[in-house]
Amino acid sequence: MKVAILGGSGFVGTRLIDILKDEYEIVNIDLVNSPFFPDLTQIGDVRVPSQMNEMLKGTDIVVLLAAQHRDDVTPTSLYYDTNVGGMKTVLDAMETNGIKRLVFFSSLAVYGLDKDKPSEESPADPFNHYGKSKWEAEQVLQQWLSSHSDVAVTIMRPTVIFGERNRGNVYNLLNQIAKGRFMMVGDGKNHKSMAYVGNVVTFVKYIMEKDKEGCQIYNYSDGPDFDMNSLVSLTEEVLGKKIPTIHLPYGLGMLGGYCFDALAWITRKKLNISSVRIKKFCANTETNSTKAHSTGFIPPFTLQEGLSRTLLFEFVHPQPDNITFHTE
């Protein structure tokens, strides 16, 4: 079986290639080379039909990871060019090459913020361009499926994914806590669904081998969810240090976020703090992942184990190669 991973040079793709490469023929198609699997990588763009038509020849399964995903992409049209336009191009190339199996990484962002543990049946209500573009891409896919009954599609809607070498929002949070620079905005009782990358890619492999027909949608998170106070306590325990925490009122925190927005606009630099990130930090982002965990899948790691492995890797035993992946 040949698996084409589109956008596999990044954080999730690297871990997915690692667990698939011994059992499948893998080709990674990305705009940049893979730091760990350059011999499996071809440089290509999901927005270019001629490239997709040629590079997907002989493929049995497509895993579509390629996306614009940061909170601060400009111009915002890039979200739709890649996330929606890329979907259209890939589907056309699949039809040209007779490919019948697709795994698409969407996002929990399609549900919006502060929803009450949305399930796969919950209505879409995206609040930013990333979520809106992912939802539009899903709609393009569903429209395509209405005239392609002989294909098997899996739509993954993972919560925020973290793990070793990732430089996204979870790492930024853990880094601030570990270095004693953390300031809690709000009371810290808001819960966060998270997913350890080792579990996410193992679930994808499990579903690739299990779901053979129709369209299945899966939320994915690891549980039980932590609230922000518990996350600080776990970090203290794993690193063996007392971490002072200052609680800042939500309104004051958002005001600070707007100040950082203005600074980023003036300097034309992308900063780690913004009003959007503070809003997301203070929101409840719990999700209902009952469907995924009712398939028979057993995660190889608990959420606490994933967080502990990440903390030890990043702050106790850092790797000398300094290879990292920047996501949200």
| Strand, helix or coil for residue 31 | coil
Please check whether residue 65 is in contact with residue 105, taking contact to mean a CB–CB distance below 8 angstroms.
yes
| Strand, helix or coil for residue 166 | strand
Is 130 among the catalytic positions? yes
The angle at the Cα of 202, spanning 124 to 3, to the nearest 5 degrees, equals 85
Please check whether residue 4 is in contact with residue 61, taking contact to mean a CB–CB distance below 8 angstroms.
yes
Q: Which of 67, 307, 290 is nearest to 198 (CA)?
A: 307
Number of H helices, E strands in the chain: 12, 12
Q: Which two tokens stand for residue 97?
A: 């090459």
* Sheet with 41-43: strands ordered across: 41-43, 25-30, 2-6, 61-64, 101-105, 152-158, 214-220
Catalytic residue among 130, 196, 218, 220: 130
Length of the chain: 328
B/e letters for 86-122, b = 16+ CB within 10 Å, e = fewer, are: bbbbbbebbeebebbbbbbbbbbbbbbbebebbebeb
| Strand, helix or coil for residue 45 | coil
Active-site residue list: 130
